[in-house]
Structure 1
Amino acid sequence: MSLKYLMDENIDPAYFTRLRLNLPDLIVRVIGEPNTPSKGTKDPKILLWCEEYDFILVTNNRRSMPVHLSEHIDRGHHVPGIFILNPNLSVGQNIDELMLIAEGSFDDEYQDQIIFLPLTNIS
């Protein structure tokens, strides 16, 4: 598995707990853990960290993240991607989507993109 996820500090801990349990080879970090941005770090600095360490950001931030990504790219930077969780899906459905993506994606498939979950057609 080549994707790595950095979970936003405002995401329910069930996400990273279940991801780590169900996909032990998937690297999942949470903002505020050792060797990650500290809690309260502003989004532009989080994007720089994701770029440097090659992590996809997983967040709930639907409002300002598109602006931050646009500014980041305008400055000549890149990110492996940003996944925005869907508030209309259950925690389990969002986690299933993240697992499916982690298991079936190509390197750089989501570079410089914001992906709004779900990718699949959930009924």
Structure 2
Amino acid sequence: MTVRYQADADLDQAIVTGVLRRQPTIDFQTAFAAGLEGVKDPEVLAIAAKQERILVSHDRRTMPLEFAEFIISNQSSGIIIVSRKSPTEIIIEELLLIWAASSAEEWVDRIAKLPL
């Protein structure tokens, strides 16, 4: 199955826009489209998992722990934590690479940090 992304409410929209400009066929749902504004981390993880989307977030402080707790009793489609310090174009390139070179099944219950 093809990788599909879900932006967290804190993810820089320029990343989503840049990915979609470079590759319009990628399924990258915005936080606004998913109604994630103000939603707590466990529910964000549940929504992404239910829709079989890899969650993409800047939240390095709470999301990794919430993810670890979530996968104890649920299956996740994975999560990618993006550094705010990295140039946007590098993050866009790496998300495109992940989309092109991996399958959704490879990301089940997996956490990764970008840049790679």
TM-score by length of 2: 0.92
TM-score by length of 1: 0.87
Q: Aligned pair count?
A: 116
Percentage identity across paired residues of the two chains: 31
Q: Counterpart of 2:9 in structure 1: which amino acid?
A: E
Gaps of 5+ in 2: none
Distance 2:36 2:66 in 1: 18
1:109 maps to what in 2?
Answer: 106
Q: Counterpart of 1:66 in structure 2: which amino acid?
A: P
CA 18–84 in structure 1, closer or farther in 2 if over 3 Å, else same: same
Structure with larger RCO (C-alpha < 8 A, sep 6+): 2
Where in structure 2 are the equivalents of 1:20-31 lying within 5 Å? 20-31=20-31
Distance 1:49 1:37 in 2: 10
**1:68-114: per-residue Cα shift (whole Å, max 9, x none)?**
1121112x201111001123320111111111111110231121121
2:58 maps to what in 1?
Answer: 60
CA RMSD of aligned residues (A): 1.4
1:84 maps to what in 2?
Answer: 81
Distance 1:77 1:44 in 2: 11
Point out 4+ residue stretches in structure 1 off by more than 3 angstroms: none
Cα deviation for residue 24 of structure 1 reads 1.0
Distance 1:38 1:50 in 2: 10
Query: Which has more radius of gyration?
Result: 1
Q: Which has the higher helix share?
A: 2
Distance 1:38 1:83 in 2: 17
